[in-house]
Chain A
Amino acid sequence: MGSLRVTDLGKDFPSGSVLDGVSFTLEAGASLAVIGPSGCGKSTLLSLLSGLTKASRGSVELPETCRTAFILQDYGLFPWKTVYDNLVLPLQLKGTGRRETQVAARAMLEEMGLCGLERRFPAQLSGGQRQRVAIGRALIARPDLLLMDEPFAALDAIARERLQELLLALWKRRAMSFVLVTHNVSEAVFLGRYIMVLRGRPARPALWLDNPCFGSDSARSGAAGAAIAERVRRVLDKGSSSEAGQ
C-alpha cells in the first residue's frame, strides 16, 4: 500500500471539539503508536482513520486499494459466533469460497496458536485468547493497514508482553502498516516505529518521535528505550499538569 496521509484532521462533537490539527504521514509498512491521556480523543482518531466516523475538518488519504482492518478496544468479537466463525467472518462477508476460507482459517488458527479452540465461544476463552481471535480476524483478510484501539489494555502483564511480541512477529511477516492507540508508554515504545503524543483539549499532537528502539530488546530494558519513554512521559506529564492548572 502507499502512504497514509492525514492532514489537519479535526472532530467536533456537540459537547465540544475533541481533536484538532492532527497531521502526519505514515509510509507503507511502518507502525505508529498514538499515546495520550484517557479520554483525549485517541479512539476518535482511529474511528476517523477507519472511516467509521466522519471528520469535521481535514482529510485522511489512503490509496484506493488499501484494505483496512480495525481491532476495537473490547476485541469486538461476536458472542454468538464460535472462534472459527468469528475468525472467518471477514472472508464470508467478502464472499470467499468455502474451500479457500477453510484453508485460510486453518493457517490463521495455527499462526495465532488457537488450534483446538475452534468450536469454543468467546465466553469460554481467556482475555488473551480472545485477543488472539480478534487479531486473527483482523489479519485473515490480509489488510494493508491495521488499526488497533488499546488492544492489550485488559490483559495481565505476561499476556500483554506475549501478544505484543506476537503482533510484532505478524507485522514482520506481512507487508502492512499499523496504527496502535495506547495509554501505556512502554507499549508505545516497543511497538511504535513512530510515536505521536496527543495532548490538550481538543487534543493536538504534542510530540512526534522517530523511535529507533522499536521492536527491540532495548525498547523494554535498554537505556535508549528508557530515554524515549522518559521523553514521552515528560510531554504527557506536562499536559496533565497544565490541564490540572486550568
Chain B
Amino acid sequence: MKRLFSILSRYALAFAALLLLWQIGAWTLGPYLLPAPLDVLHAWSAALRGPDLPGHILSSARRVVTAMLLAFAAAFPLGLLLGCRRRLDRVLSPLVFLTYPLPKIVLLPVFLTLFGLGDLPKILLIALTTGYQLLVVTRDSLRHLDARCLDAFRTLGGTPAQLVRHVLVPAALPDAMTALKVASGTAVAVLFMAESFATRKGLGFLIMDAWGRGDQLEMFSGILSMSLLGLAVYETCHILEKVLCRWKTLEARR
C-alpha cells in the first residue's frame, strides 16, 4: 500500500510539473496555438460525459489491445522457435532482419487496399510493428540463455514440450514483457497514424478532424486521451511484467 502510494505520488508530481510547463507554454504561445491546461481539462471532462469521446476512446483501445495481444500470440512463440532451433533460425533470421528496419507504417495504404477500410488493416499494422520488436527480443533472449539452465533441465529428463513450458517460456518472458512495454509507445503512435485515414472512429480521427476544424480544445482533448491510453497500455504491460516475472524483481533487489 505504501509502495502504491509512493508510485501514485510520483506520478502526481510528474503530472503537476507537466501541467506547469504546459501552462508556461500556453502563456508564451497564446491560446490559439496552445490552449491552457485547465481549459483543456475542463473541455476533456465535459467531452467524457458527452456521446463522442468515450466511443473514440473505446475504438482506439480495442484496436491497440487486440493488436498487442495478436502480436504477442504470434511473435512470442515464433521468437522462442527461432531462439532454440538454430537451423530454422539460420533460414528465417535473414528474412526477419532484412524486413525489420522497414518502417511498417508505410504499408498502411497496402493494408487498406488488401484488407479493406475496417479495423483489420489497422490492427494488423500495429501488430506487425510491435510483433517485430517482440520477435527479435524473444529470439535474442533465448540465444543468450544460460547454458546451465538447459543442463539443469537435461539432468532431470523431460520432453521438449516440457522444456518449453518449464524453461524456455519463463526464461524469455521477462525480456518479452520489457519489449512489449517499449513497443506499447510505438503501438499508440502507429494507432494514431492508422486512425488518421479511412475511419470516422478513434482518437486519431478525432485529433485530425478537430485540427482540420481548428478546434484546439477538442484536438487537445483527443491528444490527452491518447496519452492516457498510451499510459494505460504501458502500465498494464508493466503490471503484467511484475506479476508474471516476480522472480526477476527479487533477483534485481539482491
Contact = CB atoms under 8 A, between A and B. Distances in A.
Nearest to A73: B148
Main DSSP-derived SS at the B contact region: helix
A89 B148 CA distance: 16
B250 A124 contact: yes
Contacts of A93: 156-159, 162, 166
Contact of A79 (B156, B162, B247): B247
A78 B148 contact: no
Nearest to A137: B156
B152 A78 contact: yes
A78 B154 CA distance: 13
A90 B162 CA distance: 11
Indicate the member of A50, A52, A78, A80 with the most B CB atoms within 10 Å: A80
Given A80-B248, A121-B251, A124-B250, 10 more contacts: A72-B151, A76-B151, A78-B149, A78-B167, A80-B173, A80-B247, A90-B157, A93-B157, A93-B162, A94-B157
Contact of A76 (B148, B171, B253): B148
A118 interface: no
A52 B251 contact: no
Contacts of A50: 155
Contact of B245 (A70, A80, A124): A80
18 contacts: A50-B155, A52-B155, A72-B151, A72-B152, A76-B148, A78-B149, A78-B166, A80-B247, A81-B170, A81-B247, A89-B166, A92-B166, A93-B162, A121-B246, A121-B247, A121-B250, A124-B250, A137-B156
Indicate the member of B151, B170, B171 with the most A CB atoms within 10 Å: B151
Contact of A69 (B149, B155, B250, B253): B155
A229 interface: no
A74 interface: yes
Contacts of A72: 148, 151-152, 155
Indicate the member of A52, A77, A89, A122 with the most B CB atoms within 10 Å: A89
Interface in A88-141: 89-90, 92-94, 121-124, 137
Interface residues of A, number: 22
A70 B154 CA distance: 10
Main DSSP-derived SS at the A contact region: mixed
Nearest to A122: B247
B87 interface: no
Interface of A: 50, 52, 69-70, 72, 74, 76-81, 89-90, 92-94, 121-124, 137
B148 to A, nearest CB: 6
A246 B166 CA distance: 47
A170 B170 CA distance: 32
Contacts of A79: 247-248, 251
B254 interface: yes
B155 A76 contact: yes
Contacts of B171: 80
Contacts of A52: 151, 154-155
A33 to B, nearest CB: 20
Contacts of A122: 247
Contacts of B170: 78, 80-81
A124 to B, nearest CB: 6
Indicate the member of A69, A79, A90, A137 with the most B CB atoms within 10 Å: A79
Interface in B120-168: 148-149, 151-159, 162, 166-167
In the complex, the 10 A-B pairs of residues with the closest C-beta atoms, listed nearest first: A76-B152, A70-B155, A80-B170, A93-B158, A123-B251, A121-B247, A123-B250, A80-B247, A90-B156, A121-B250
Nearest to B153: A78
Contacts of A137: 156
Contacts of A89: 156, 166
A90 B158 CA distance: 8
Interface in B225-248: 245-248
A148 B146 CA distance: 20
B56 to A, nearest CB: 40
